[in-house]
Every structure is written in structure tokens, then in C-alpha cells.
Amino acid sequence: MFVDRVLSGMRPTGSLHLGHYHGVLKNWVKLQHEYECFFFVADWHALTTHYDAPEAIEQNVWDMVVDWLAAGVDPARATLFIQSQLPEHAELHLLLSMITPLGWLERVPTYKDQQEKLAEKDLSTYGFLGYPLLQSADILVYRANLVPVGEDQVPHIEFTREIARRFNHIYGREPGFQEKAEAAIKKLGGKRSKLYVELRTRYQEQGDQEALEAARAVIEEAQNLSIGDRERLFGYIEGGGKMILSEPKAMLTEASRMPGLDGQKMSKSYNNTITLREDEDSVSKKIRTMPTDPARMRRTDPGDPEKCPVWQLHQVYSGDDTRAWVQKGCRSAGIGCLECKQPVIDAVLAEQRPMRERAEVYLRDTTLVRNIIADGCEKARDLAQETMREVRQAMGLQYS
Ligand code: TRP
Ligand code: SF4
């Protein structure tokens, strides 16, 4: 049976906050019930911008993995690993670099954007330019077809699709492809062969996307095919060569603009965050001291929730009744700001409680986390090695 494979990575930037939870992790937790999932720590990607701070990496990595587990990412459902423990990513990155036009990298929008945003850093490095290509290798080495990312990362997935296409175009052409593809069709078996040919014709003559997907499903369902034959059949649907690397799709995570303590988007660089496992007193204090509508100088001054960052948190955390209570109480000066903040404090603490509990086990026994990662690396390695064997062979690097 064909299972969609989901893969996503996160740079280890230190303790995660509620913005990461609402924007990314909650989605990962949901996906792990629906797909085969691979989630990894992109520690090499951290070095592309923070090559001068190696001392911070290791702790950031372990903290982040604990945050994932705390948020409910389940190692029994999802494979968790660390990028740098899989040298296959680096090998594929190198091999893909041979066919990557410099202009493609220079045109990726994040390249110039980030250089401008991080102007205090010298990002005129080879590694930084290659950031999207390393990301492509991360994805392609697992032949992942779905990549959950935020809007800003969509150009990187597009870039990955172009690289995969270029690779297949250059290296998917083998002598006698047509004959080999036809032989592979026979191996599908009578009914399947016929269906495959029909779907392929429909796709080629009418560009019918559904036919394309259905033809791919036919191949996925066939148990008896060698990897080479599968690649031939995948490629043959669309044209003239093997499909060695498969083109992934971006799975756009619904933009969740988690407000921070000051009403701007929650972000470490704005210093307005609540971390995932922050202790209760600190959370209460941060929310109690949040700014409110400046018009409410005194308790008796009416206010306007639209001008208050606390209201934005109510929109994330409160139900209709509480929201109506805030609207009425604020505008009529019927409630005080501290009173108004209490339901938010309660809701954040309630959200964090299970996270703190789950983390406790891992903080007490750090070998648990190491074992989860070791298991994940092993599982990832099996897939990555299989892809690399195919890639090396296609590129003429198979010496035995
Ligand atoms: N560039 C991604 C980010 O900044 C992190 C990342 C690295 C990634 N490799 C990946 C995401 C592969 C998805 C797939 O968020
Ligand atoms: Fe903000 Fe609530 Fe105070 Fe109104 S009552 S200003 S919404 S904190």
C-alpha cells in the first residue's frame, strides 16, 4: 500500500516557545497519526548562520528534542533523528551540487532576505548559499513526498522539485530504457499492467493529474518489483527516463500568528515569548505584567480590546463566553485588567501542564532521549542508504 511520507526539520535555536507549539508542533503531533513521519534536527543548517557559535549547538539540540517530546511528538509513531548523524545528507548535498546552477541558488528569495536581515553576520559563505540545496538533500534522501512547512519555506520546496527533476533528467536516462520499461510493465501482472498503460495514456494525452496519481498508486501497490523497475515505471508515466528522486510537495501549515506578550508575533528576537515548559510563576508574572490598552490608566477608564495584546491571547485561548465577557467588561470598565488576564493565565498553564509532565521523565533520565534519537537515526539510515545506492549507481559511482 502507498503511504505518504512526511518529513520536516527544525533548526536547533534553543528552547522552543508557544509560537513554535501553535505554529509547528501541534501540526506534527496531528500528522504523526495520519502519515509515516520523519522529524529531524537540522543542526548543519544552524551552522550555516551560526558557524561562530558551535558551543551552543549540543545543548540546543537536546533541549529541542525534549520540547518535541513534551509537545506530544511520539517516538513510537514518528522517527526522530539528528541531521549530522546521517552523513548521507552531506553526500547527496555534494553530489547534487554538481548539477546545481549557481543562479538557481542566488535567486532563492531567502538568500538575499536573510543576508539583509542578519546584516551583522558575514553570510557570504559557500555554506549559506547552499542552504536550500542541503535542505533538498534532506528531503530527497528519504524520498519524502510531503513536507510540512511555513509559507517562507515554500520556495525551498519548489527549488527541491526543480533539483529532483534536473537530476532525473540527467541521470535517469539509461541505455535501452524503453525495452526495460516495457519488461517492467509485464511484471506488474495482467490486470495491473493494463490499468497502468491506460492511466499512462490518459495522463500523457490529457494531462490528467488524477491518472498520474492513480498510475503511481498502481506501482506502489505492486509487491514484486525491484527498485530499478519501480523507478522506470514511475519515470515512464511521464516520459523518457527513470525517476530516481521523487518530487516532494509542500504541505502548507496554516499560518498561525501566535501573538507574543507585546502584541507582535511571538519571536525570540522580540523578547516577547513564553517558552514551552516555562515554570508556572514566571508564566503568571509575564502575563500579569503584559501591557494593555494604554487608555485604561485607571480601573474606572473604559478600554478597547482591539488595542490590547491581551485580547489577542484571548482569541487563541478563550471560548465565546469569555470573549464576550472581555468585550463587555473592558468597554464598560466592568472588569479590571488583572481580572481579564486570569483566564489567559489559567489556559496557558493548563496547556503547558501535560508538556511539563511529559518532559519530566526525559529530564530525569537523559539516556531515554539519546536512545530515541539513536533508534531514529538507525531507521532513517536504512532509507537514506537505499537512496544513496541508487544515486551513486545512476551517477556512475558504483564500483562493485
Ligand atoms: N529550513 C527549515 C527552516 O528554517 C528547516 C529545514 C531544514 C527543513 N531541512 C529541512 C524543513 C527539510 C523541512 C524539510 O524551517
Ligand atoms: Fe486588555 Fe482586558 Fe484590560 Fe481590556 S480589560 S485593556 S482587553 S487586559
Helical segments of 289-319, H only: 309-317
Q: Which domain holds residue 384?
A: 5-172+246-257+366-394
Residues 133 and 183 in one domain: no
372 domain residue, yes or no: yes
314 lines ligand 2 (CB under 6 A): no
43 lines ligand 1 (CB under 6 A): no
Average pLDDT over residues 263-268: 94
Residues 226 and 341 in one domain: no
Residues 16 and 161 in one domain: yes
Phi (first) and psi of residue 325, to 5 degrees? -60, -40
pLDDT digits (tens, 9 = 90+) for 203-247: 999 989 899 999 999 998 898 899 889 999 999 998 778 899 999
Question: Counting ligands in written order, which one lies closest to the CA of residue 344?
Answer: 2
Domain count, the chain: 3
Residues 253 and 228 in one domain: no
- Of the residues 237, 265, 288, which one is the last residue of a structural domain? 237
In this structure, the number of other CB atoms found within 10 A of the CB of residue 199 comes to 21
Residues 145 and 75 in one domain: yes
310 domain residue, yes or no: yes
Residues 67 and 98 in one domain: yes
Identify the H or E element spanning 79. strand 78-82
Residues 143 and 227 in one domain: no
What is the predicted pLDDT for the residue at 158? Answer: 97
Identify the H or E element spanning 201. helix 190-206
Residues 47 and 119 in one domain: yes
Phi (first) and psi of residue 38, to 5 degrees? -125, 120
pLDDT level of residue 1 (50, 70, 90 thresholds) = very low
Residues 55 and 163 in one domain: yes
126 domain residue, yes or no: yes
Report how far ligand 2's centroid is from the alpha carbon of 305 (Å): 6
Residues 224 and 348 in one domain: no
345 lines ligand 2 (CB under 6 A): no
Residue 2 predicted with pLDDT over 70: no
232 domain residue, yes or no: yes
**Among 5, 8, 28, 118, which is best to mutate for testing ligand 1, by the most ligand atoms less than 8 A from CB?**
8
293 lines ligand 2 (CB under 6 A): yes
Q: Whose Cα sits closest to atom 6 in ligand 1?
A: 9
399 domain residue, yes or no: no
Query: Tell me, what CATH number does 328's domain have?
Result: 1.10.240.10
262 domain residue, yes or no: no
Identify the H or E element spanning 337. helix 337-364
pTM of the shown model: 0.91
3-class DSSP state of 173: coil
Query: Tell me, what CATH number does 13's domain have?
Result: 3.40.50.620
Residues 58 and 120 in one domain: yes
Residue 303 predicted with pLDDT over 80: yes
Dist. CA 371–CA 378, nearest whole Å:
11
Q: Whose Cα sits closest to atom 4 in ligand 2?
A: 330
Average pLDDT over residues 26-45: 97
Residues 16 and 73 in one domain: yes
Identify the H or E element spanning 379. helix 366-394
272 domain residue, yes or no: no
pLDDT digits (tens, 9 = 90+) for 331-356: 999 999 999 999 999 999 999 999 99
Nearest residue to 37 (alpha-carbon basis) of 133, 137, 132, 146: 146
267 domain residue, yes or no: no
Dist. CA 163–CA 389, nearest whole Å:
18
